[in-house]
Structure 1
C-alpha cells in the first residue's frame, strides 16, 4: 500500500498492515516463557498466555497441533514455543500461534520424542486396527515393572481387591536410568517367550520427561507392537504420554487403571454366573414340566397287562356262558316237541303200524337233524375256542411279551419304581427267568 504523509488510514487498514508486517517478519520463531491462564476449550484448542519477568503475550494452539504434543501443559511450567506472530485485527491485539512446544532446557529430548512418534506413526504402529483385544477373563496376568516401584503396589492392591482369583507373575526390570530401556525390553521379551500369561501390564508411576524416558525407547516400542500377548501401558499420570502408551494395545491413565482394565472383576463374574444359573434352572424346570405332562398323557393311554387280562377273563366268561346256553337250548326244544308229538300221536293213532313207521322215520330225521346241529355247534365251539386261545395272555406271551413281577408278586408297571440291583421274575411264553436291574429309564 503506497502512502504519503498526508494519507489518512482507517483503523482496519492500519491493523491489516501491522498484521502483514508481523507475519512477514516473525514467522516460525522460537520464544520461551512460562504458561499462565491456561484453558482447554471444548473444541480442543488451547488458549493461554506466555510470560516472563517483564511481559505477557496471549497465545493459541489449535486442536490438531495440541493433540500431537502428547501431554497437557500446566500453568507455571516453562516451555520453548515455535510460533507465528499474528495480529487479531478486530481488537488490534497481537498473539502467538503456537505450532509446537518443548520443555525449556529439554528441547532435544522432546524433539527426539516427536521424531520417534512421527516415525512409528508413519509405519502404522499406532493404528487401532492392529491392536489386540484384551481377554476379559485371563488365566494369568504379567506385570513388567520394578520390584521397588510404587506402581507395583498399586497394581497388586487393585487386583487383590478386584480379581483375587487371577494369578500374577512379575517380570522385574528397572523403570528409570540408563539401562532401564534395555532391561524393560528384555523383561518384556522374557514374558512373551515364556507365554504363561494372557495379558501384560507395563507400568510405573509419574515423573518428569527424563524419568519416563525409558518408555520412549524405539526397541521397546517395537517389542510391544510385535507381542502376541496384549499389552496394557499404565505409565505416569493421566497427563503423561510416552511412546509405549501409543503403541500398546490399551493405554491406561495410571497403573491402578491398568490393573482394572486387564480383567473383569470377580463380583461382575459372580453376578453374571448367578444370572446364567437362574436362567438354566428355570429352563430345566420348564423341560421337566413338559416331560411330566407327556408322561401323564402316555400313562393315561397305556393299558396295563393286569387290566387287559381282567378284560379278557370277563369276555371269556361271557363266551362260555353263551356257548353253554347255545348247546342246551336246542335239545330242550327238541325234547318238548317230541313230547308234544307223542301226545298228539297217542290221540290220533287210528293206524298204529303206520304211525309207528312214521314216528320211526321222524325219529331218524330228528336224530340226523340233531346230529347235524350238534356238529355245527361243535364247529362253532372249536372256532370260538381258537379265537379265545388267540386272545389268551399266554398267546400274547408267545409273541415275545413278558410279565415282570417283583419278589412279592407285584407286577411291574413303571421302570421308575425299580431300583438298580433289584431282583425280578420274568414270565415268558415258555418258562420264566430271574433278572437283576442294572439301569432304569423313564418313559419320555
Structure 2
C-alpha cells in the first residue's frame, strides 16, 4: 500500500454494526468506571414475578435506569420505596436490545430519606397532629348504597376496573362519575373540584331529580411517587375529611400509601378492591333472603308442633267421654245418697220437735216443711242437670256389651262382637268391624 492509499484509508470513518458499537461502549464503561457506587432517589420501583427488580435512581441533574436481579434482591433487608435516598453498588453496562445505559445493581442500601419522601412525612405529621387521621371521625360504609360516586380520570385503567367490578356485582346501583386529573401539577385542584361536585349532590339527596350518592370512591392506578403525588396534597386531604358521606381511597397498588389513604374513611389496596368494598354481590342478598325464609318456615313449624303438644295435653286432661260419664254418674249417686240421708235426718228432727212442741207451733212446722220441700225440689233440679242423659243429648254415646258392661278401651271389643250404643233417645245395636287405636 502506498503512502497515499494509507492516508486515504485513515481519512474514512469506521462503519460500526449497532451491536458491535453497543458492546464496545459496554467494554469502555467496564474498563473506565466499574464497579461503581451511585447515590440517588428511587423512582418507579417494581418487582417482577421472576423476583428481579427494576427502578431508576435520580437527582436534580439526571436519572439512571437500574436492574437488580433476583439473587441480589433476596439479600436486601428492606423493601425499597419511591422517594427513598439510597446508595447502589454495581456495574455500568448497555442493554444492547434497546441501547439503554443501565446499572446492574449488586447491592442496595438506604442513604437517608429523599426530598420528596421527606415532604410526604412532613405533611403527614402535620395533618395527623390536627386530627385528620383520627379513627373516631371515620364512618362505616353503607351496607347497600343507593348510589356510588367515583372520582378518577376518564382515561384511566382504574375507571375500567371499578366499572367492571360494579357492573358484575351490583348492576342495579347507579354510578356517578366526576372526572378529574389524577397526575400532574393541576391534578390536586381537579380532584378537589370533582369531590366538591359529588358532595353537593350528596347534600341534596331526597330532592326531586337529584341522584343519590351514599359513598364516594377516589381511585387511581399504580405509579411512582411522583405520579401519585397529587394524592399527597394538603388541600385534597382537607377536602376528603369534609365529605358528607364515607370516602374510600383506592390509589395505586397494595404497597402504595398516600395522604389521601389516611384521611379517607377506608383505604382499599387497589381500585378494584375499593369497588368491591361497597358492592356486596347480589347473590349474597338472595342467599340471605333464602336463609330468612328457611328460618321463618322453621319457626312456624316449631309453633305448630308446640300447639299440637298443648292440644294433646289438653285432650289427656279432658279424658274420654265414657270416663267422664262414669265419673259424673258416681258423683251424682253420692249427691243422691247425701241428699236422701240429709232429708231423712231433717224429717226425723222435725218429727221429734213436732211431737215435743205444743199445738201452737204446728203452723211453723208446716211452713218449715214447705221450705224443705222447696229445697228438695232444687236439689232434684241440680241432680237433673248432672244426669248423664244430658251429656248424651250433646252428641255423645255410651258403648256397652249386650250384657250392659261399659266399653271404655279398644281392646275390650273383639272384631265381630255385637255392642250397644246408648244415645239420648234410644239404643243402637252395632257390630265391631276393625278396631283402630288413636
TM-score by structure 2 length? 0.50
Q: Which has the larger radius of gyration?
A: 1
TM-score by structure 1 length? 0.49
